[in-house]
Amino acid sequence: MRRYGTSFQQTYRTLIAYVLLTFGAIVFGLPFFWMLSTSLKPIEDVFLLPIKWIPNPIKWNNYIEALTAVPFGRYFINSTKITLFSIIGHLISCTLAAYGFARIPFKGRDILFFLLLGTMMLPSQVTIIPLFIIFKQLGWVNTHLPLYIPSFFGGAFYIFLLRQYFMTIPTELEEAAIIDGCGYIRIFWDIYLPLSKNALITVVIFSFMGSWNDFFRPLIFINSPDKFTVPLGLAGFRSEMGNYWHYLMAASVVAVIPCILLYFFFQRYFIEGIALTGLKS
Amino acid sequence: MRLLRSKKFRINLVGYGFVLLSALGIFFFNLGPMLSSFYLSFCNYDIITPPKFIGLTNFYNILFNDKIFWKAFVNTVYYVGVSVPLRLLFAFLIAILLNQKIRGMGFYRTIFYLPTVTSGVAMALIWTWVLNPSFGIINMVLNFFGIQGPAWLGDPKWAMPGIILVALWQVGTQVVIFLSGLQNVPTQFYEAAEIDGAGSFRKHLFITIPLISPIFFFNLVIGIIQSFQVFDKVYIMTAGGPANATIVYVMYLYEKAFTWLQMGYGSALAWILFFIIMMLTLLQFKFSKWVYYEGGR
């Protein structure tokens, strides 16, 4: 009797959960669906009431017209280049620093680590004005350098994440290696990096998103259209295209696709990375 | 003895080698700019002529002579005050739903998380279209229920609520953080409560919420810090308009520093923002008695 009761309750709860989840998914997914639908409509159907949800006829040409109206290919190449260099920079500087902070007891380590964590508290608005002045004096304004060079000099969040991960690797491995006569560099390269594949992928993904979706810094440092990144190009496209929503949505779809693909392939790492920051703080 | 010293020396050297790049980053991209921004906030500086020290004039003007600053401040407080609690509640409810052990969960998680992983500019564009007064889906739904929808981004009263709607849609990060907390709640607690006859609602109210209160706290602190710096959405959707109805703090700072090239004034704005954020964070820590830490603190 009791068992029947609980299983009935269980089914009832599952049903409620499904109903609520489906409702939520529709609310959350609808803007995406509408973006896709608008992007494939002929212009006269865009401003049609009641709304036509399924485009008919499907106008694939919108994409070609939108992407050739402004040099989106150029923006894509620019964004790809900046993102790639940022990731490489973060991988080099952050893995090295994380290992140093995790395993080498050098003098002043704790103070430096404390300073590093302190930089996470610093809002980027405080440093952006002097950085702009510095980069202007270096002649770097309106080049891509200010957007990726800083990542070769660390990133507090990634260093913290990698350090936490490195600390979970048992030191016995290291002690064995030291008896073997390996130095710190060898240990770092031969033991820590190969064992930290998951953490490294997490860093790559977050670095990708930070760089690919960044709008504030490109807006400040870049002003000639041939150097635009995808988000900048999209913003410029908006002021140029005004009410051509089918073109704007087509461009948005293209801008959003790399992120969605990345998410599909590396879902697990997204979740782990975020969960790690949540728990450790 | 000499050997020991030289070993210590070598460890230091190797250690500095490993952290060299990041240490340079801390000093040249963070602390250095931070100090010079502090100095600039007491200066008049337009990039072309050298900075001129003017004492507290910038701060005085911001606080006592700048109506737009106060407008931006009030708008930002409005945005933070409405969006942060709503997002917390929203994220928590979604996380509870996503924590059920039912089939197809991967699909649902993806849908809720997508707005967070995609570019903020694209999201803002999509929502500008969604909120279109005549052809957007929001007003179409309202119309269906016989409600005449507002002009949203074109109406000074409704522009900010429109922007807040977008923020509510981007709760993926908070959801994931809540989820990781929920998954750490030991199941014995729920089983004990079920034996005592507690329903689903009471179980969450009396067990889940106290146990994951540290996560609530974390999400609250991070949420306030991030919302105070809202920029992308506003820049794309309204550019601060109509009639400054949505001008927010960072938007105003951006305009002062990079459109009008008032770098000293902009630095002063940045430091006031920094001060506000620090104060809010400290206050929250001071009043965080409601947070339950397992095994005391």
Cβ within 8 Å, pair A263-B25: no
B17 exposure class (CB count in 10 Å sphere: 0-12, 13-18, 19+): middle
d(CA A37, CA A54): 6
For residue A163, what is the nearest residue in chain B, using CA coordinates?
B19
For residue A160, what is the nearest residue in chain B, using CA coordinates?
B22
- Residue A70 near residue A258, CB atoms below 8 Å: no
Checking if the pLDDT of A55 tops 50, the result is yes
Helix (H) / strand (E) containing A245: helix A245-280
For residue A231, what is the nearest residue in chain B, using CA coordinates?
B121
Q: What is the pLDDT of residues A109-141, one digit of tens each?
A: 999 999 999 898 888 999 999 999 999 999 999
Token digits of residue B280:
């809010």
d(CA B266, CA A121): 19
d(CA B50, CA B62): 22
A238 interaction partners in chain B (CB closer than 8 Å): 125, 128, 236
Checking if the pLDDT of A220 tops 90, the result is yes
Output the CA torsion A156→A157→A161→A166 (10° steps).
-10
At A281 the pLDDT is: 44
Checking if the pLDDT of A152 tops 80, the result is yes
Cα A211–chain centre separation:
6
Cβ within 8 Å, pair A263-B113: yes
d(CA A19, CA A14): 9
Output the CA torsion A169→B215→B163→B271 (10° steps).
-80
Using a CB–CB cutoff of 8 Å, tell me whether A153 touches chain B.
yes
d(CA A80, CA A208): 9
At A245 the pLDDT is: 87
**Number of other CB atoms surrounding residue A1 within 10 Å:** 4
At A75 the pLDDT is: 93
Using a CB–CB cutoff of 8 Å, tell me whether A128 touches chain B.
yes
- Residue B168 near residue B162, CB atoms below 8 Å: no
- Residue A210 near residue A270, CB atoms below 8 Å: no
Report residue A277's pLDDT band, with 50, 70 and 90 as the boundaries: low
Domains of chain B: 2-40 (no CATH), 57-286 (1.10.3720.10)
B17 interaction partners in chain A (CB closer than 8 Å): 100
- Three-state SS for A244? coil
d(CA B130, CA A27): 12
Token digits of residue B213:
């209160």
Using a CB–CB cutoff of 8 Å, tell me whether A107 touches chain B.
yes
d(CA A36, CA B75): 33
d(CA A253, CA B261): 35
d(CA B257, CA B266): 5
At A181 the pLDDT is: 62
Q: What is the pLDDT along chain B (297 residues), one digit of tens a residue?
A: 455 567 788 888 889 999 999 999 999 999 999 999 999 999 999 988 899 999 999 999 999 999 999 999 999 999 999 999 999 999 999 998 888 877 888 888 888 888 888 888 999 999 998 998 888 889 988 988 988 889 999 999 999 999 999 999 999 888 888 888 888 777 777 777 777 777 777 777 777 788 888 888 888 988 999 999 999 999 999 998 798 999 999 999 999 999 999 999 999 999 999 999 999 988 888 877 777 776 554
d(CA B5, CA A234): 59
Of B112, B122, B257, the CB nearest to A129: B257
Domain ranges of chain A: 2-62, 71-280
- Residue B256 near residue B262, CB atoms below 8 Å: yes
Cβ within 8 Å, pair B108-A249: no
Q: Which fold has domain A71-280?
A: MetI-like fold (1.10.3720)
A203 exposure class (CB count in 10 Å sphere: 0-12, 13-18, 19+): buried
At A159 the pLDDT is: 94
Q: What count of CB pairs under 8 Å joins A to B?
A: 272
Compute the average pLDDT of residues A181-189.
81
d(CA A129, CA B37): 7
Give DSSP secondary structure letters for B99-127: TS--TTHHHHHHHHHHHHHS-HHHHHHHH
Where is average pLDDT lowest: A15-29, A69-83, B174-188, B189-203? B189-203
Using a CB–CB cutoff of 8 Å, tell me whether A241 touches chain B.
no
d(CA B82, CA B164): 8
At A2 the pLDDT is: 45
